[in-house]
Amino acid sequence: MNARMRTLVAAALVVGIASGPAVAHAASPPGSVSSEWMAPSVSTPSVSTPSVSTPPNAAALEAAIAGLGPQHRDATAALVRVGGTAGRWQGSSGVADIRTGRDAVEQGRFRAGSVTKVFTAAVVLQLAAEGRVDLDMPVRRHLPGTVPDRYGAVTVRQLLNHTSGIPAADGPGDSFEAQWEHRFEVTDPHAQIADAVAKEREFAPGTAQHYLNINYTLLGVLIEKVTGMRYEEAVGARILKPLGLHGTSFPGRTGTRIHGPHNRGYQAIPRADGSRELRDVTEWNSSDRWAAGDIISTTADLERFTVALFGGRVVPEDRLEEMFTVPDVPDRVSGKPAVMTAGLSRIVLPDGTVAWGKTGGRHGYNTAIGATRDLSRTLVYSVNATDAKGQDMNGVALGIVMAAFTK
């Protein structure tokens, strides 16, 4: 693939980063790849004319995650699952801890960042299917006192697809060091909303798209208001428990740790002599992301969730279309056509294959879920990126995506 096509794919995937059965593997040297190809999963729906009909390219996938560790420019570890009707592949590479050099934990947990938004959107769409939320109703009707009249009639659907025009809440700053200094602070979602709506709106509701966490912070509050449950409890009762996602959890408002086996996350810090420090960023309070980005999960759980979601077992079919409907508006930042939907993003690969998915980034962790609409190819990865919140897509992650969808 030429550089231009890689750039186009990376641009489509980077949103969300900047703002099956287990398989046993023999131990492998740090930095080497542990992988296994499997026959098609019996739980994957049959597809008459699949978007992707070839088996996963094991050689390309192994190459994409080869050589990871503290010496690698972009990542210390990676966990990957590729599935679909043509077969399955899963692999891991790198180290769980740079101090010990211990192999990456293939079934490890990780911060999934903005993949949280897919869970949030799914719960809102469930409530809409139950008649408890009207997607076309102004948000202030559900949440009086939140969105000012001067903003216009911001609807629930506009929060879901990021066309509300509500600006971001203030934070400690965009630089890593600024965020590092505030990494253990607890943030209240209601205070974030009040801070955001005290500003002027960015644009009239429904006229542009701007991907911002504040939309999903409001949706988290909406879920609590409508269900009478804490956001985390509602997602647990409606999605995690029914699907048996036992490795998925929320850290809670004051939590800073990833409980259970996990690969540690690191941020590369340049030194004056040209070398770099890999600073451990595993422990971090994520309450500033909350319903927009604080979930912790595993590749197995996210794969199961993706298959169930696309298969219509999480959101009823009539409401599921919201997740595959891109609003006909421009992106506020790029001016190009919008690509975000209610929780997902539309990605057109170089060969014309259309995939839908969501990326997420927390310091030390880049994550993605994705699939073709017909589930002929699915992908979940967690990459322990050394600049997970950087403006450009992580090179290892991009390589995984391209290898996963290679025909």
Q: Is residue 43 annotated as part of the catalytic site, yes or no?
A: no
> What residues form DSSP beta bridges with 19?
none
Read off the tokens for 88.
Answer: 């399955």
Q: Which one, of 89, 79, 93, lies nearest residue 29 by Cα?
A: 93
324 by Cβ neighbours in 10 Å (0-12 / 13-18 / 19+) ranks as: middle
Residue type, 57: N
Largest CA distance in the chain: 61
Give the separation between CA 218 and CA 397, rounded to whole angstroms. 30
Residue pair 290/223 in contact (Cβ under 8 Å)? The answer is: no
Q: What distance lies between CA 388 and its chain's CA centroid?
A: 12
Q: Single out the catalytic residue among 114, 249, 287, 345.
A: 114
Write out the chain in H/E/C secondary structure.
CCHHHHHHHHHHHCCCCCCCCCCCCCCCCCCCEEEEEECCCCCCCCCCCCCCCCCCCHHHHHHHCCCCCCCCCCEEEEEEEEECCCCEEEEEEEEEECCCCEECCCCCEEEEECCHHHHHHHHHHHHHHCCCCCCCCEHHHHCCCCCCHHHCCCEHHHHHCCCCCCCCCCCCCCCHHHHHHCCCCCCCHHHHHHHHHCCCCCCCCCCCECCCCHHHHHHHHHHHHHHCCCHHHHHHHHHHHHHCCCCCECCCCCCCCCCCCECCCEEEEECCCCCEEEEECCCCCCCCCHHHCCEEECHHHHHHHHHHHHCCCCCCHHHHHHHHCCCCCEECCCCCECCECCCCEEEECCCCCEEEEEEEEECCEEEEEEEECCCCCEEEEEEEECCCCCCCCCHHHHHHHHHHCCC
Residues with catalytic roles? 114
